[in-house]
Amino acid sequence: MLESEFMRLALAAGAVVGVLAPAVGFFLVQRRQSLIGDGIGHVAFAGVAAGLLLDVAPVLTALVAAVVGGVAIEVLRSRGGTAGDQALALVFYTGIALGVVLVSAAGALDVGLYQYLFGSILTVTRSDVALVAVLGAVGLAAVGLLYRAFAGIAIDEEGARVAGVPIGPLNIALAALAAVTVALSMRVVGILLVAALMVLPVSAAALVAWSMRSTFVLSLAIGLGSTLAGLTISYYADAPPGGTIVLVAAGAYALLLAASTVRGR
Amino acid sequence: MPLAAALQGVAFGYRPGQSVLEGVSLGIREGEFVAIAGPNGGGKTTLVRLVLGLERPTQGNALLFGEPAHRSSRRHALGYLAQRAELGGDAPTTVREVVSAGRLAAGGLLGPLRKRDRGLVSEAIARVALEDVADRPLRTLSGGMQQRAFIAKALAGEPSLLVLDEPTTGVDAESQESLAGLLDRLHSDLGVTILYVSHEFGAVEGFVQRLVLVRRTIVFDGPPGDLPGVWHDPSHAHARE
């Protein structure tokens, strides 16, 4: 398997995304905003469509659209007096509707669209991997620097606000990080499954972890393991990589749920 | 004594035409232990949100350490314990992790906690006598112990003003007594100003220096001993008045 360059590149890109997605998703799950990744994914779809229409690299337009969508969700939620789930629905549906209209205008309602909806990690190039590695490293460094701030807000947002912690800018930073993660993960698992890689490893880790930090570290390990195992299985079983990766993560959740149930008896 | 917090002729409503509070004037001196009580819906939580600068009065002024509360430069000197139902997070979070979150404003946002901050976290945990369970997940502890962990979180920020909103919600009578004793010790040991908000004040009646009853406006403000008998249970007799 490793003698094929496309698999080496796929594993490299997958490793970065497998760690970054749960690292950012961890804070969304703690704040009960698990579906934000899904909402941003749908806005990223509109970005892909704009890229196809304007003949610009779809990953870049998706990145811009995802950041705008992520920040819009946060601004609507915090300042517009809109409830969190309604803010999400508003951006979610607007994104998908805009995407459908733009894709149709670009005449791109064809197989080429599939690689963005369901991932196309086996077609990543060296320059794709370089982009994923650089943005992934920046994202992970940001999470490392802001871990304590994000965790503190997840524990008690109101208490942090009263004490003068700049909640608004930190929430915007988290939304932007989620958007970058979605745009990078798009090639690995696809827009429709991107949120799964942000949420499932975290939910699985929380079943057996004993602290917030151990949940975080374990979720990164599960995300990385699921991505590498999913890619390996998909190579030998000739299965779609995106779906296989998410199924492995779901399997990890089921396994740890069983383990925690047995342990609890 | 200078004022830690003050409301001057304050009126407030969440919507135009609505009156949740009116004509409220109140000064909390530094070092005081004050209970704010009153019936549910009487405006006491709103009063506290005004004091904390989370809401702005529609009339009058809300001051924190002499500055307009909503843009106070001393917010890091506030320790706030919100109603328990509002605190959370799904991952198993240890007592130490919860208390560490209390150093966020004072200890800086970036990178890991420094040695001094970690020391203050341990000290706060010791003050509420939770050293033995410091590394246990909060959800495995009793309601009273969880409440003490959140008090330690507020203390970790080295507050000058500690505000507790309905701290006894969901806590049994024995833990309420123990909580009141703990607050009394913190008040005398640290000299911290305490604002204790609850629809019932029986547990702290013996400890507070001043009791303020709120029902849209302030209907009583003085030592608990001066309170007319009929108002001793504000959630009932006073509400029916």
Q: What is the DSSP string of B101-164?
A: GGGHHHH-SSSSPPHHHHHHHHHHHHHTT-GGGTTSBGGGS-HHHHHHHHHHHHHHT--SEEEE
Does residue B42 surpass a pLDDT of 90?
no
Packing angle of the helix pair A126-155, A5-30 (nearest 10 deg): 20
8 Å CB contact of B93 and A212 = yes
How crowded is the C-beta side of A170, counted as CA atoms within 13 Å? 24
**Judging by DSSP bridges, how do beta strands B161-165 and B21-29 pair with one another?**
unpaired
% pLDDT > 90, chain A:
29
* pLDDT greater at residue B134 or residue B86: B134
DSSP string, A122-176: GG--HHHHHHHHHHHHHHHHHHHHHHHHHHHHHH-HHHHHHTT--HHHHHHHHHH
Residue B81 in domain: no
Count each helix (H run) and each strand (E run) in chain A, helices first.
Answer: 11, 0
What pLDDT, in 10s, does the model give residues B43-52? 888 898 899 9
Residue B213 in domain: yes
8 Å CB contact of A156 and B52 = no
The values of phi and psi at residue A9, to 5°, are -65, -40
* pLDDT greater at residue B239 or residue B182: B182
The closest alpha carbon to A9, from A175, A236, A235, belongs to A235
The closest alpha carbon to A106, from A66, A50, A42, belongs to A50
Mutation target to probe the B interface, by most B beta carbons within 10 A, among A156, A207, A222, A263 is A156
How crowded is the C-beta side of B61, counted as CA atoms within 13 Å? 12
Is the Cβ of B83 closer than 8 Å to some Cβ of chain A?
Answer: no
Q: How many CB pairs under 8 A join A and B?
A: 112
Q: Residues B122, B107: one domain?
A: yes
- Bridge partners, residue B6, by sequence: B27, B63
The stretch B196-219 carries a mean pLDDT of 83
Residue B135 in domain: yes
Nearest to B76 among A145, A151, A163 (CB): A163
The stretch B9-25 carries a mean pLDDT of 87
Does residue A142 surpass a pLDDT of 50?
yes
Confidence of residue B177 (pLDDT cuts 50, 70, 90): confident
Does residue A107 surpass a pLDDT of 70?
yes
pLDDT the model gives residue A225: 95
Q: Residues B166, B241: one domain?
A: yes
Confidence of residue A265 (pLDDT cuts 50, 70, 90): low
* Residues of A engaging B, defined by a Cβ cutoff of 8 Å: 26, 29-32, 145-146, 148-149, 151-152, 154-156, 158-166, 170, 202, 205-206, 209-216
Q: Residues B66, B184: one domain?
A: yes
Q: Residues B68, B142: one domain?
A: no
CB B201 within 8 A of CB B214: no
For residue A228, the tally of other CB atoms under 10 A from its CB is 17
| End position of a domain, from candidates B116, B131, B159 | B159
Give the distance from residue A12's alpha carbon to the nearest chain B alpha carbon, in angstroms.
27
pLDDT the model gives residue B84: 62
- Identify residue A96 by its one-letter amino acid code: I
Q: What is the CATH number of the domain that holds B207?
A: 3.40.50.300
The stretch A4-14 carries a mean pLDDT of 83
Q: Residues B236, B173: one domain?
A: yes
Does residue A80 surpass a pLDDT of 70?
no
Confidence of residue B146 (pLDDT cuts 50, 70, 90): confident
Residue B157 belongs to what H/E stretch? none
Number of domains, chain B: 2
pLDDT the model gives residue B239: 43
Task: Give the least confident one: A21-30, A214-223, B114-123, B190-199.
Answer: B190-199
Give me chain A's average pLDDT, please. Answer: 86
What pLDDT, in 10s, does the model give residues A223-232? 999 999 998 9
Q: Residues B142, B169: one domain?
A: no
The stretch A68-73 carries a mean pLDDT of 85
Task: Give the least confident one: A48-62, A79-93, B117-131, B159-173.
Answer: A79-93
The stretch A21-48 carries a mean pLDDT of 86
Mutation target to probe the B interface, by most B beta carbons within 10 A, among A78, A211, A215 is A211
Say whether the ipTM exceeds 0.85: no
pLDDT the model gives residue A262: 85
| Tokens representing residue B221 in the block | 């403000």
8 Å CB contact of A156 and B153 = yes
CA–CA–CA angle B176, B178, B183 (5° rounding): 95
What pLDDT, in 10s, does the model give residues A153-206? 988 888 888 888 998 889 889 988 988 888 888 877 888 788 889 999 999 999
The stretch A131-142 carries a mean pLDDT of 90
Residues 6+ apart with CB under 8 A from B17: none
Measured over the CA atoms of residue A211, residue A217, residue A220 and residue A225, the dihedral's sign is negative
Packing angle of the helix pair A5-30, A241-264 (nearest 10 deg): 50
Residue B79 in domain: no
Residue A25 belongs to what H/E stretch? helix A5-30
Nearest to B93 among A26, A146, A211 (CB): A211
Q: How many residues does chain B have?
A: 241
For residues A62 and A45, give the distance between their C-alpha atoms in angstroms, rounded to a whole number.
Answer: 7
8 Å CB contact of B97 and A163 = no
| Tokens representing residue B208 in the block | 């507070």
- Bridge partners, residue B10, by sequence: B24
CB A34 within 8 A of CB A85: no
Residue B167 in domain: yes
Secondary structure (3-state) at B163: strand
pLDDT the model gives residue B125: 94
Q: Residues B106, B219: one domain?
A: no
Give the distance from residue B232's alpha carbon to the nearest chain A alpha carbon, in angstroms.
31
Mutation target to probe the A interface, by most A beta carbons within 10 A, among B70, B72, B78, B90 is B90
Does residue A2 surpass a pLDDT of 80?
no
Mutation target to probe the B interface, by most B beta carbons within 10 A, among A155, A167, A263 is A155
| Tokens representing residue B42 in the block | 């009487």
8 Å CB contact of A215 and B80 = no
8 Å CB contact of A210 and B97 = no
pLDDT the model gives residue B236: 46
For residues A16 and A133, give the distance between their C-alpha atoms in angstroms, rounded to a whole number.
Answer: 6
Residues 6+ apart with CB under 8 A from A91: A39, A40, A42, A43, A69, A72, A73, A76
Is the Cβ of B14 closer than 8 Å to some Cβ of chain A?
Answer: no
Question: What's the start-to-end Cα distance of chain A, in Å?
Answer: 42
Q: Which domains does chain A have, with CATH numbers?
A: 5-264 (1.10.3470.10)
Residues 6+ apart with CB under 8 A from A173: A142, A146
| End position of a domain, from candidates B159, B177, B211 | B159
CA A177 to chain centre: 9
Confidence of residue B238 (pLDDT cuts 50, 70, 90): very low
Confidence of residue A132 (pLDDT cuts 50, 70, 90): confident
For residues B102 and B115, give the distance between their C-alpha atoms in angstroms, rounded to a whole number.
Answer: 15
Give me chain B's average pLDDT, please. Answer: 83
Question: What's the start-to-end Cα distance of chain B, in Å?
Answer: 35
Secondary structure E strands in chain A: none
For residue A202, the chain B residues in CB contact (below 8 A) are 91
8 Å CB contact of A165 and B105 = yes
Does residue B234 surpass a pLDDT of 70?
no
8 Å CB contact of A30 and B91 = yes
Task: Give the least confident one: A58-72, A219-233, B78-92.
Answer: B78-92
Nearest to A156 among B75, B90, B101 (CB): B101
pLDDT the model gives residue A182: 86
The stretch B124-140 carries a mean pLDDT of 90
Structural domain containing residue B95? 86-159
| Tokens representing residue B227 in the block | 């309170």
Q: Residues B187, B118: one domain?
A: no
Q: Residues B64, B169: one domain?
A: yes
The pTM of the full predicted model, rounded to 2 decimals, is 0.85
Residues 6+ apart with CB under 8 A from A4: none
